[in-house]
Amino acid sequence: MNESLQELIETFELLGDWEERYRHLIELGRKLPAMPDTEHSEANKVRGCMSQVWLAGELSETNPPRLQLRGDSDAHIVKGLIALILLLTNNRTPREVLDTDIDDAFTRLGLESHLSMNRRNGFYAMVERIKQMAKDACPA
């Protein structure tokens, strides 16, 4: 299992109630590096989210190439969800991203039953966008 996910699960278990977990999620979002204004574009906008959400990225020139991802939102909890997804996918090879079971992470963190249907749909739209970026970057 991804070390970042294990740490997050342990943190969530220590926090106990969902009000504290939401605060932690919001704090994760606040720690995201700023996304350049030029990337707040229609091309980077994620469809299927009630909030404004942008995701961008490219492959690094390292060997093997890794996805370098950035994201932003105008909603605090959604920005925290972006941070959570990036903990699991950023700086990984496209194949590693495609092999990451983000749905399982979502369930293990207990988010499935504590987010509104609209936020869940938005979360999965973000995941699909990143998976598509990984597919597009995978060698044929």
Catalytic residue IDs: 49
Residue 16: left (phi > 0), alpha (psi -120 to 50), or beta?
left
Place of tokens 């909030």: 51
Contact status, residue 10 vs residue 24, Cβ threshold 8 Å: no
State how far the Cα of 10 lies from the Cα of 50, in Å rounded to an integer. Answer: 29
Question: Tokens for 11?
Answer: 């943190």
Dig out the tokens for 112 from the structure.
């499935």
